[in-house]
Structures are given as C-alpha cells and as structure tokens.
Chain A
Amino acid sequence: MTYLKKSPWVIHYDASSCNGCDIEVLAALTPVYDVERFGIINTGNPKHADIFLVTGSVNEQNKEVVKNIYEQIPEPKVVVAIGICAASGGIFRECYNVLGGVDKVIPVDVFVPGCAARPESIIDGVVTALGILESKRLAMKENGNKTMEKPGSAV
C-alpha cells in the first residue's frame, strides 16, 4: 500500500527569497486553493516533513541551515525548488554572497519556474514531487528499509 502520496507533509524554508514566492506558497494553503484537500500539511518540523520547499537563492549565511533541514527530514524525501532564484539564483546570482540555486547545496528533485511562481504551478510541482517520492520509497524498500546514504552529512 502506498500512503505516502496521500499524505505529503511539507516544510517551507525561505533561503533568501524576496517573499514573492513565499506568499504564493502560503496562498496554496488558504481556503482558495486549500491543499489540505490532498492531505498536504505545512509542518514547521523537518522531522515530520516529506517534501522540502525552498524559495530563493542560497547564500553563504544559510547554506548550513538548508543542509541541516535537509538532513533532518526522514527518508524518503524530495526537494522542490520554487521560483527562478531557487533554480539558478535569478537576478541575485551575481551578488558576492549568493551561491546560486538550491541545487548547489542539496540535491533538488523538482524545479518550479516563475517569478514569482504561481500557486497553481507550485501545486503542480508538489504533485510531480509525489511521483518521485513514491519511486524513492520503492527504492528504499528494495534496499531493505535501510537508511539511505545521506549526501553532505559530514558538515
């Protein structure tokens, strides 16, 4: 049985977004879109989360934070990078302190384009992530439920 796709809990982290994408992420939780219809809950605790939503580019200040949150999410997990800044650094990519997209620090599974990304495309990105989440669960099961090797765990 697969319950994972029916109950994806997300954790949202603002790396260094201008808050445009963050507002759109939160818009998805409002009664207009109500993602709890699909069992999606916005948790504040990485240990309860399945999907990691990152908005904004990663900079020198918060790369450790992003890594830390990623490592605290139990397997199987997926990362969704929301907005153009999370994909490549966007207009901030030339800044002296900006590393670039989220994939510079942690492995990203889904990129959601847009500046700011629309709530519809964010929901679409999360639904795409659910498919990847399911395939990761099956891979984990084949490995005999063993914990996967965590990239970058030696911080």
Chain B
Amino acid sequence: MNAEPVISLVNAVLFVLIAPLVGGLIAGIDRKVTARMQGRVGPPVLQPFYDVGKLFEKENMVVTVTQHFYVLSYLVFMVVAGALFFSGGDMLLVIFAFTLSHIFLVLGAYASYSPYSHIGAERELIQIIAYEPMIIFTAVGMYMVTQSFNVSAIVNSGIPIILYLPGVFIGYLIVLTIKLRKSPFDLSTSHHAHQEIVKGVTTDFSGSNLGKIEIAHWYEYVFLLGVVYLFFGFNPVLAVAAIIIAYFLEILIDNTISRVKWQLTLRSAWLIAGTLGIVNLGVLYYLKGVIMP
C-alpha cells in the first residue's frame, strides 16, 4: 500500500486541528509586539482566543440570513485551501480555493445594506485584484524551478528556490502585507483602526459570524506563512527563521507606514508584480535556456 495518501491526509487533518491554535498565537504575539513598538504594555498573548471566545458568547445579530452562508463558506474554503496546501496538493487548486474564500467574504459584505459594508467589500475586491497576479507568479515561479505545481514535490525537491526566485519572494512579501491586513494596505478591514471606515468588510457581522471570520483569518496566517516556507524548503531551520523575520518585518512596516489610498495599493502591487515578478521569471526562463537546455 502506498503510504503517501495517508501522510497527506494526516497532514491535512493536523492543519485543520492545529492551524487555528498557531494562527491565534501568531495574532496574539503580533498584538503584543505591536503594543511594545507603540510604548504600551499590550494585551495578553492569548487575547485573540479570548476575543473569539467572547464573540461566540454574544448574540449573533443577523442583518440578512444569507450572511451565515457566506461567512461559513469563507471559513470552509479557507480551511480547504490550507488543507490542500499542507497535504501537498496542487498549488493552482490551492490558490483557486483561497481566492474563492475571499470572494465569499466580499459577497457576505455586499449582502448587507450598510454603505460602510459595501465600501469594505469594494476595497476587498480591489485588494484581491491587487495581490492575485503576484500570488499566481509565485506558483508559476515555483513550477519553473521544480517542474511541478504539487506542493509536496516543491518542498521535497531540495532545490534552494529562494536563490532562483529572489524577486518573486520580495514581491510575495509585499503582497503579504495586503493579505495580513497590515498598513499601508489595510484598506478593507484593519487590526488597528477600529473607529474608521476601514472596519468596512466586518461592519455588519457580529457575534459568532465575526468569530468565524477571525478564525478563518488565523487559518489564512498559517497558509500564507507556509508559502514563505516553500521558498526555503531545502532547510527547515532556515525556513522557520525566514518566517519569523518576514513576520517581524510585516509588523514593523505596519507600525511605521501610514495607510495609502486604494489607487496606490493597486498601482504598487501591480508594479511590483510586473517588475520583480515578471523580470525574475523572464531571467529564469532565459537562464534555463542557456545553462540547462
């Protein structure tokens, strides 16, 4: 009997069970480090778990019934995307499920009647348009280096992917700022600006629905940092160090740079994808022809 499907399944189940704990812990450390950067004591590291626990204790005020469906779909497809990724599945399918989950969040925000919610939904759509090319380039770049879209093949290839794709990696880090909802690109909803219009997408969600969005965000953390791991898959210690440094940089950027308009978000994300991404892939394509024809 082939052991590989069993390992894949175990990995997927482990992701479903452990990822929220890891993601919540990352969110807690994030808040603590952020507070220290601002000269505050900050909340306990377990604060995100308290928050979500509380949200499930609260009344769930429903604006439209379809909200339940959209929020649940957001969570389910985020889990599916992450589980596919950690079971070593196809990178393109992972990206497809990942994008679909965000589309459900946008639909959920559009389903309500609040203008703030609609602004948040529009901004979330703009963010999806902004980061999507770079995410695709990441997958394509990994295919060009390892000749496979399968995550298991990429991670087991033993190739130092980072040396082939430095431009793609920097580009990925920049769209990671959008994905982690960090300033300067925290347009649709933010971890900090609770009184501002940027609370957008979550405006009409309360109670357990808001809790589900938070949990989906924890899954997202783990998945996105898992992609960082792929770049350094040849050396797990280096990979974990890279994840920690990358995340610390994100927090630093979050606390030092002010929020930009959506036009600049879109322009800078595409400019980065268009330069760092395409140039990196182009050079790689050229070198492949020259060095190993």
Contacts and interface: CB of A to CB of B under 8 A. Distances in A.
Nearest to A141: B57
Task: Say which size band chain A's interface belongs to.
Answer: 20 to 34
Contacts of B210: 48
Given A39-B51, A47-B206, A4 B195 contact: no
Given A34-B41, A48-B206, A75 B58 contact: yes
A31 B42 CA distance: 9
A31 B222 CA distance: 30
Interface in A14-42: 31, 34, 36-39, 41-42
A74 B196 contact: no
Contact of A36 (B43, B54, B60): B43
A147 to B, nearest CB: 6
Contacts of B49: 3
B199 A3 contact: no
A6 B49 CA distance: 10
A74 B58 contact: yes
Interface in B184-207: 194-196, 199, 202-207
B47 A76 contact: no
A41 B204 CA distance: 18
Interface residues of B, number: 33
B236 interface: no
B53 interface: yes
A4 B52 CA distance: 10
B43 A37 contact: yes
Nearest to A6: B50
Interface in B31-57: 31, 35, 38-44, 47, 49-54, 56-57
Interface centre among B35, B40, B44 (most CB of A within 10 A): B40
Contact of A7 (B53, B196, B207): B53
A47 B204 contact: yes
A38 B44 CA distance: 8
A43 interface: yes
B203 A7 contact: no
B40 A36 contact: yes
Contacts of A50: 54, 58
B207 A74 contact: yes
B129 interface: no
B30 to A, nearest CB: 13
A2 B202 CA distance: 24
A1 interface: yes
Contact of B42 (A37, A42, A43, A72): A37
Interface of A: 1-4, 6-7, 31, 34, 36-39, 41-45, 47-48, 50, 72, 74-76, 137, 140, 145, 147
15 contacts: A4-B54, A6-B53, A7-B47, A34-B42, A36-B35, A43-B195, A43-B199, A44-B199, A47-B204, A74-B206, A75-B58, A76-B59, A137-B57, A145-B59, A147-B59
**Cβ-closest 4 pairs across A and B:** A44-B195, A3-B53, A74-B59, A6-B50
